[in-house]
Chain A
Amino acid sequence: MEEKNLQEMKDLVLNYVINEYLEDEDETITYDTPLISSGYVDSFSMVSLLVFLENKFKIKIPPSKATPEAFDSVNNIVTLVNIFLK
């Protein structure tokens, strides 16, 4: 994937997480911030994040691949999405 597209994808996911899951407007996260293990996104909310990714990138991520580890940062998520985009 081109670097520009990769960066756009990261920003898209990051902005979605910030807008949808962060409650404190003062909090900031980066591409590497743990999302699941830090409690920003719980295991139930992970389902809506999965639906977002599948809708946005027109992919299907099997449940076995949608693990807390795979969703634990924006970078991890983008890596996962890229596997299914190919």
Chain B
Amino acid sequence: MPDIFSTYEERLKDFDWSISANELEYREGQIINIGWYCSDRICLKGKADKIALFYEGFGGIEKKYTYNDIRLAGNTIGTFLRNLGIKNEDRVCLFMDRIPELYFSFLGILKIGAIVQPLFSAFGDESLFVRLENAQTRAIITQRKHLSKVRKILDRLPHLEFIILVDHVKTKPLGNKEVAFSLEESQPVEIMEVFPTFAESPSVLHYTSGTTGQPKGVKHVHYSIISQYLTSKWVLDLRDEDIYWCTADPGWVTGTSYGIIGPWSLGITQCVLDTGFSAHAWYRFIEKYRITMWYSAPTAIRSLMKAGNEIIKDYDLSSLRHLASVGEPLNSEAVIWSEKIFGKPFLDTFWQTETGSIMITNFPGMKVKPGSMGKPFPGIIGVVLDPKTYQPITESGKIGLIAFKPDWPSMMRSYWNNEEKYEEKFVNGWYLSGDKASIDVEGYFWFVGRDDDVINTAGHLVSPFEVESALLEHPAVGESAVTSKPDEVNMEVVKAFITLKPGFTASPDLELEIMNFIRKKLSPLAMPQDIEYMEKLPKTRSGKIMRRLLHAKEWGEDIGDISTLEND
């Protein structure tokens, strides 16, 4: 029976990750390099002339690239880096908008055995600094528009040797450590020796936020492709004739696992739209490229819902065959809406930066329960644990901690330079996701929320600690506490509670000034969308800010035990 008719139950039978390894023709102990698998191998399979990427950028720029084009581009960038002296396991940061050079650099860096460190280009200078410092990054590839942020922190980054500008204008002088690289003006490199990376060789370093401390660098290895390939094939249901659109930015893990590695290891044609969000622009894009598989995020889906159904009538979206979603829980209304509007539901998928690939999912063909996360991917043992005993809960409907049994191929191998935090993620032989859920009688998982204070806004994790620390650097802020507040589109957004230093007066203009201060320092995601001035923050008698109380107030929840609350 053809693959496309295989059911979830059939996939579970005799499942082994060797299915993926065999399809990729990988044998244990052999060289495995994601950059090669996503370009050279596809060309060797006879698809050199197949379109790998349709790109549309700001100002109506349109480009298209074949698999041979991306192979050459990866070689050209890899050779350029190698000639600069970048060697295997050096960290090379990608700090760009979603331009073609971002995608090709990803391949080129991996092909020379170096580690890709993708960072969201909207990060402010301080967010950029802590991540580059932690990774001791040797080179950063960026655009002119982001250069000022890099220049601002350069003196504090002794390990950073090269700032590579992909759009340098020759009339402008290059600054300290800056080098220009133009893909279009470079002689394509036909043959480049790919560095012999193996299964456990590091590949990608994504940063994620926790409740406390600085962001953690999640280290992945080249063997992750085993998971990313098969989940792309089975869950995203990618087929050779598909035109695929993953709307995620490669600054985040979805944008690399399923915006580069998954589709390109399968030899799929994918599309990238590098413009801001607008419902019209998105529908037009689907219509124009006849997109068949669309992988997006609940926030985007809710934004489309908000834009109304009337505008959809202007577009032919009949090419859409399969829809999936990731990043935050997909509410049942969105599932029902998509079924009504597109004739098919968005299938929710659950996974994390640390897991590297889809872990719990609504499998194609599986009965969809709107609002449910689905079931564990074949080969993944997923449970909910009792938060006190860390034993699996067998009772259906009871809330516990989502946990997975190590190892699956794309599981993170460490937090960069933070073994202690890495160890904390494993208890009783389970990997703790930090999220809570229940499991119903049919084995479907139902998301409940985070098990910590981390804010999930539009599918991106924001550390309250990071925002609180940054707030304290504003001259007017005396104390700060950060929590989330509900938001119709983004699920939750950042809310800050602050006290002011003597001499400062609360005002709407000061609120705006503080918002912009955080936006530029950290990122637009971390910017408090609401700031509340307080005379004093609620604290325990030992002086610890009771963030829980503020969270409960915002969400209309029971404030619980306040016996430790400090009294006047």
A interface residues with partner B (beta carbon < 8 Å): 20, 23-27, 34-45, 47-48, 51-52, 54-55, 67-69, 72
Contacts and interface: CB of A to CB of B under 8 A. Distances in A.
Contacts of B122: 42
Nearest to B97: A39
A45 B524 contact: yes
B524 A51 contact: no
A72 B278 contact: yes
A51 B515 contact: yes
Nearest to B169: A26
A86 B147 CA distance: 42
Contacts of B565: none
Contacts, number: 79
Nearest to B167: A24
Nearest to A26: B144
B508 interface: yes
B512 interface: yes
Nearest to A72: B278
A32 to B, nearest CB: 13
A68 to B, nearest CB: 5
A42 B512 contact: no
Interface in B240-291: 274-279, 281
Contact of A23 (B146, B508, B525): B146
B548 interface: no
A36 B354 CA distance: 31
B527 A44 contact: yes
Nearest to B508: A55
Nearest to B531: A51
A23 B145 contact: yes
Contacts of A40: 276
A26 B145 CA distance: 8
Contacts of B214: none
Contact of A42 (B58, B276, B279, B489): B276
A47 B58 contact: no
A41 B276 CA distance: 8
A61 to B, nearest CB: 14
Given A20-B516, A42-B524, A67-B307, 18 more contacts: A23-B146, A23-B149, A24-B147, A36-B276, A36-B278, A38-B275, A39-B274, A42-B277, A43-B277, A43-B458, A44-B457, A44-B524, A44-B527, A47-B527, A51-B515, A52-B512, A68-B278, A69-B278
Interface of B: 58-59, 97, 122, 144-149, 169, 172, 274-279, 281, 303, 307, 457-458, 489, 493, 508-509, 511-512, 515-516, 519, 524-525, 527, 529
A69 B527 CA distance: 22
Contacts of A69: 278
A47 B274 contact: no
8 contacts: A20-B516, A23-B146, A23-B148, A37-B277, A39-B275, A43-B276, A48-B515, A48-B516
Most buried by B among A27, A45, A72: A45
A51 B525 CA distance: 16
A39 B148 contact: no
Nearest to B529: A47
A54 B527 contact: no
A72 to B, nearest CB: 7
A55 B276 contact: no
Given A39-B58, A45-B519, A48-B515, A27 B145 contact: yes
A37 B512 contact: no
Given A25-B148, A51-B511, A44 B276 contact: no
B120 to A, nearest CB: 11
Nearest to B306: A67
A82 B511 CA distance: 24
Contacts of A43: 276-277, 303, 458, 489
Contacts of A68: 276-279
Contacts of A36: 276-278
A69 B308 CA distance: 13
